[in-house]
A and B are shown apart, each in its own frame.
Chain A
Amino acid sequence: MPKQKLNPLPSAAFQILLALVDEDLHGYGIMRQVEDQTDGRTRLGPGTLYSSIRTLLEAKLIEEVDVPADARPGSERRRYYRLTSAGRKLVRSEAERIADLLRVARSKKILRGAHV
């Protein structure tokens, strides 16, 4: 199978991992969560989404899980995805890396406003 490089972690893959931090989601749920967490700036297209999901599955950063018990009865069968412990570790280290960058940017005063 093709190997998509995850180092550096692509933005789409990072967003997907972040989306799965709180709960297991299916593809459309991930897309919506990513849209929400980026204030509508990022809408992952189907091809990009599933291409990234496949890569993350191969890297064992996420795993496929059974349909949650609280899924709507009678709804279409969907694949749900869950963050693995390796995925959680990676998303945390990536977030810390970005936080470090932000600190540097702050110290150089290139950010506008005190709130960022």
Chain B
Amino acid sequence: MFENIYAWLMRLYPSRFREEYGEEILQLFRDRARDEKGFYRRLRLWLDLVADLAISVPREYYYFEPELIGASADQRLGGLPSFVVIEGGSPRPEALLSGGVLAIVVLSTCSIFLSQAGHYTPRRTFTAASSQSHRYKDSSPFGGQASPSGTEGGNGTSLFGRSIVSGRGPRTGETNNSESGGIPPDSSESSQTQRIEDARNGGMIHAAKGYAQVDAAERGRVIHAAVANLKQYYVHPEVAQKTSDALLAHEKNGDYDAVKEGGAFAALLTKQMRDTSQDMHLDVLYSQEPLPEHPLGAIPENRERYREYIEHNNCTFEKAEILQHHIGYVKLNSFPDLSLCESTARAEMNRVNDAAAIIVDLRENRGGYPDMVMLLAAYLFDHPEYMYNPRENTTQQCWTRSPVAGNKLADKPVYILTSGLTSSAAEHFSYDLKMLKRATLVGETTSGAAHSGVFHRIDEHFGMGIPEVKPINPFSKSDWAVVGVEPDVRVKARNALETAIKLAQARLQR
């Protein structure tokens, strides 16, 4: 029956093509149908065939056209051009009808599959420096990821970190930091997301897929350590109790017995903790490589390498210039350590001080230090403004030190460019300025890396992130953890600059 369907669909091709290769094509279909059995492979076969038809049928008609045109130009009758029809005309009505039916079937099938796909809880890997118990921000300034040269970031075995599987689901667009040219990632959290397909290239396949096995004893140890940590550290004791009870109940029911891979086990624990606590900042992490017992950030060599890196990279200010129409453009690829980069940051902001509007490009910004967030935000206000940070309780630090002397940007329109890579401190900056209605976000939803937990090492391979403070979010119930920051104007990241320029121009012409 399937062969008949495909034979019928082949009538979409021009007759000449069918005559030449129809039998061969059917034979190829029969070969594939014979070799590709089972639901998944058969589905893949049909998707391939439909995609192939969609591409090759129009092309077959298209390729006849040049000849048709060329032939008519050469044919002259009594000195006048004449037309010669080579192919038997446009597609037949039944071919158009079958094409229409096919399109409806394909669209319906895709819709059904999408709606039936269920909840996908992918794992993501990231590298982390960790200790028995320390804040993410206290560790390696490189977050255990890319080397300063940007040449080691892809192999997943950089000097500073190790591969980890987290239960936190990735958002689209998260990539290996090496794609951003070795820019130091969010050093405030020391954790770094990485797309699994990138990790595969970097030899982290085992960690990414969670192939490493965990036995019952280790599972039990991790569960009980997680429970103990929750009770001791979690900000809400009653929620900690409820979450712990849920984990123990799952253990008692034998729900973990079948989970033998480290990554999968961490993902399951994370999901269950979040389901019970409704707190998206809770995480269980798995690392195939042994986790260090002390924070890497405390190692002086790492600090020195970070310093060298940012000195050679202008504190990750890639650009600060005035574009046409007096639009200022600042491309910042991390929020570097204020103690090392304050003068550079101020100098770069001064370069765009005369702009009529400003575009801050954070599309490749994976985060950094909250102090730098506060410094740059200070330029955008003429009065101290409260900047919400899910990692900190309200302190003096959460108010911008506005106004900045000599600054002219406080009342200028602000556009922030975002992508799926934009993470952590860059999301902090974007989220607050959006909520304060101070900036228009243009681009894609950000990665959703709030990283507000404190890291607790459980054993050589497992650790967990637990929020120990619960600052009140003045804007809404949730921050950007997991879900990311939504742009105001959604466009592909690669088109964001162009769109923002147009928006700024339109605004300035009012």
Query: Which residues of A line the B interface, CB within 8 A?
Result: 1-4, 27-28, 31, 43-51, 53-54, 76, 78-79, 109, 112-114
Q: How distant is the Cα of A76 from the Cα of B56 in the complex, in angstroms?
A: 25
Q: Which residues of A contact B49 (CB under 8 A)?
A: 45-46
Q: How distant is the Cα of A53 from the Cα of B17 in the complex, in angstroms?
A: 12
Which residue on A lies nearest to B87, using beta carbons? A2
Instruction: State whether A46 touches B66 (Cβ < 8 A).
Output: no
Q: How distant is the Cα of A53 from the Cα of B63 in the complex, in angstroms?
A: 14
Which residue on A lies nearest to B34, using beta carbons? A28
Instruction: State whether B150 touches A109 (Cβ < 8 A).
Output: yes
- What is the distance, in angstroms, from B99's C-beta to the closest C-beta of chain A? 14
- Chain B interface size, as a band, is 35 or more
- Is B299 interfacial (CB-CB < 8 Å)? no
Instruction: State whether A46 touches B52 (Cβ < 8 A).
Output: yes
**CB within 8 Å of A: which B50-106 residues:** 51-53, 55-57, 59-60, 63-64, 66-67
Q: How distant is the Cα of A43 from the Cα of B28 in the complex, in angstroms?
A: 12
Q: Which residues of A contact B287 (CB under 8 A)?
A: none
Partner of A54, one of B21, B32, B52: B21
Q: Which residues of B contact A46 (CB under 8 A)?
A: 24-25, 28-29, 49, 52
A1-B67, A2-B67 given as contacts; is B32 within 8 A of A47 (CB)? no
- Is B201 interfacial (CB-CB < 8 Å)? yes
Instruction: State whether B66 touches A3 (Cβ < 8 A).
Output: yes
Which residue on A lies nearest to B36, using beta carbons? A43
Q: Which residues of B contact A50 (CB under 8 A)?
A: 17, 20-21, 24-25
Instruction: State whether B155 touches A112 (Cβ < 8 A).
Output: yes
Q: Which residues of B contact A79 (CB under 8 A)?
A: 24
**CB within 8 Å of A: which B141-170 residues:** 150-151, 153-155
Q: How distant is the Cα of A40 from the Cα of B35 in the complex, in angstroms?
A: 15
Tally of A-B Cβ pairs under 8 angstroms:
81
The 10 A-B pairs with the shortest beta carbon distances in the complex, nearest first, are A45-B52, A112-B154, A47-B56, A2-B63, A50-B21, A46-B25, A28-B31, A46-B28, A47-B52, A113-B154
A1-B67, A51-B60, A54-B20 given as contacts; is B153 within 8 A of A28 (CB)? no
Additional A-B contacts beyond A2-B63, A112-B198 (17; CB < 8 A): A2-B67, A3-B66, A27-B25, A27-B28, A28-B31, A45-B48, A45-B49, A45-B51, A45-B52, A45-B55, A46-B25, A47-B57, A50-B17, A50-B21, A54-B20, A112-B201, A112-B202
Q: How distant is the Cα of A114 from the Cα of B156 in the complex, in angstroms?
A: 12
- Is B178 interfacial (CB-CB < 8 Å)? yes
Which residue on B lies nearest to A111, using beta carbons? B154
- Is B108 interfacial (CB-CB < 8 Å)? no
- Is B126 interfacial (CB-CB < 8 Å)? no
Which one of B25, B66, B176 has the greatest number of beta carbons of chain A within 10 Å?
B25
- Is B306 interfacial (CB-CB < 8 Å)? no
- What is the distance, in angstroms, from B177's C-beta to the closest C-beta of chain A? 10
Instruction: State whether B25 touches A47 (Cβ < 8 A).
Output: yes
- Is B388 interfacial (CB-CB < 8 Å)? no
Which residue on A lies nearest to B16, using beta carbons? A1
Q: How distant is the Cα of A3 from the Cα of B52 in the complex, in angstroms?
A: 20
- What is the distance, in angstroms, from B9's C-beta to the closest C-beta of chain A? 10
Q: How distant is the Cα of A27 from the Cα of B20 in the complex, in angstroms?
A: 14
Q: Which residues of B contact A44 (CB under 8 A)?
A: 52
Q: Which residues of A contact B52 (CB under 8 A)?
A: 44-48
- What is the distance, in angstroms, from A24's C-beta to the closest C-beta of chain B? 15
- What is the distance, in angstroms, from A71's C-beta to the closest C-beta of chain B? 14
Q: Which residues of B contact A49 (CB under 8 A)?
A: 28
- Is B136 interfacial (CB-CB < 8 Å)? no
Instruction: State whether A48 touches B56 (Cβ < 8 A).
Output: yes
Q: How distant is the Cα of A27 from the Cα of B59 in the complex, in angstroms?
A: 19
A-B contact pairs, 12 of them (CB 8 A): A2-B64, A28-B27, A28-B32, A45-B49, A45-B56, A47-B52, A47-B60, A50-B20, A78-B27, A112-B153, A112-B176, A112-B202
Which residue on A lies nearest to B182, using beta carbons? A109
Q: How distant is the Cα of A112 from the Cα of B175 in the complex, in angstroms?
A: 12
Instruction: State whether A3 touches B63 (Cβ < 8 A).
Output: yes
Instruction: State whether A113 touches B201 (Cβ < 8 A).
Output: yes
- What is the distance, in angstroms, from B151's C-beta to the closest C-beta of chain A? 6
- Is B13 interfacial (CB-CB < 8 Å)? yes
Q: Which residues of B contact A47 (CB under 8 A)?
A: 13, 25, 52-53, 55-57, 60
Q: How distant is the Cα of A2 from the Cα of B71 in the complex, in angstroms?
A: 11
Q: How distant is the Cα of A54 from the Cα of B150 in the complex, in angstroms?
A: 46
**CB within 8 Å of A: which B176-235 residues:** 176, 178, 198, 201-203
Which residue on A lies nearest to B24, using beta carbons? A27
- What is the distance, in angstroms, from B14's C-beta to the closest C-beta of chain A? 9
Instruction: State whether B28 touches A31 (Cβ < 8 A).
Output: yes
Which one of A44, A48, A53, A113 has the greatest number of beta carbons of chain B within 10 Å?
A113
Which residue on B lies nearest to A76, using beta carbons? B27
Which residue on A lies nearest to B52, using beta carbons? A45
Q: Which residues of A contact B201 (CB under 8 A)?
A: 112-113
Q: How distant is the Cα of A71 from the Cα of B99 in the complex, in angstroms?
A: 37
Which residue on A lies nearest to B60, using beta carbons? A51
Q: Which residues of B contact A1 (CB under 8 A)?
A: 67
Which residue on A lies nearest to B65, using beta carbons? A2
Instruction: State whether B48 touches A43 (Cβ < 8 A).
Output: yes
Which one of A28, A78, A109 has the greatest number of beta carbons of chain B within 10 Å?
A28
Q: Which residues of A contact B48 (CB under 8 A)?
A: 43, 45
Which residue on A lies nearest to B53, using beta carbons? A47
Q: How distant is the Cα of A44 from the Cα of B60 in the complex, in angstroms?
A: 16
Which residue on B lies nearest to A44, using beta carbons? B52
Which one of A4, A47, A109, A112 has the greatest number of beta carbons of chain B within 10 Å?
A47
Q: How distant is the Cα of A28 from the Cα of B28 in the complex, in angstroms?
A: 5
